[in-house]
Amino acid sequence: MHTPSWQQHTLILWGVSGLLLLAATAWGHSDLDPRQSIPNKWETYTLNVPTETEVSTVQVRLLVPRDFEIEMIEHSPLWQITRARDERGYIREVTWSGSSIPPQTFAEFKLLVRNPVTPGTSLWKIEQSYQDGNVTSWEAQTQIVPQASVGGAQRAEEAWRAAQVATTVSLVALGVSVTLIIVTTIGIVQSGRSQRQNEQS
């Protein structure tokens, strides 16, 4: 009976690692929902923070666009929450620290926010600090649209998310196919070698 060689095991591990990398690339960074809303509305925003590195996330810092007002921040018994305010008394920065997000997990942080009174696009900045001292910066975009346009904006958002899912599935399927082709080819080559050695003996 033919036993898979160490080369086959190595290639399988490479294939699995490739699939994980593809999935992380497709899904992976800190982001803020919703991406679209209407003017002057009080809305619950959710900051999603995944840890895609081999070390834990130990701090998350959110920089708030000037035209947004944060009224409340969801209480967390795990995280210490600090706020920095501007000259008007509005919260411009929120930092979560004192806990951790282990590798291959994610955390959600919720905020009660009042949207700007005028339509437009704003950028939130997110800083993700890791246990090894590294810091990664992300940007999240929020588009404030007139109320009559919300239906179209929501459909566009749903289409964008569906495209993300389809891309991820396609990349994973491609990775599986490539891995199977490599493993099958090695198996055929090694089977041929074993057959020739048996014939010679």
- Give per-residue pLDDT as tens, 106-154: 999 999 999 999 999 999 999 999 999 999 999 999 999 998 765 555 5
Strand pairing report for 36-37 and 42-50: unpaired
pLDDT value of residue 182: 66
> Phi-psi region for residue 118, left (φ > 0), alpha (ψ -120 to 50) or beta?
beta
Other residues' Cβ atoms within 10 Å of the Cβ of residue 120: 12
pTM for the structure as a whole: 0.63
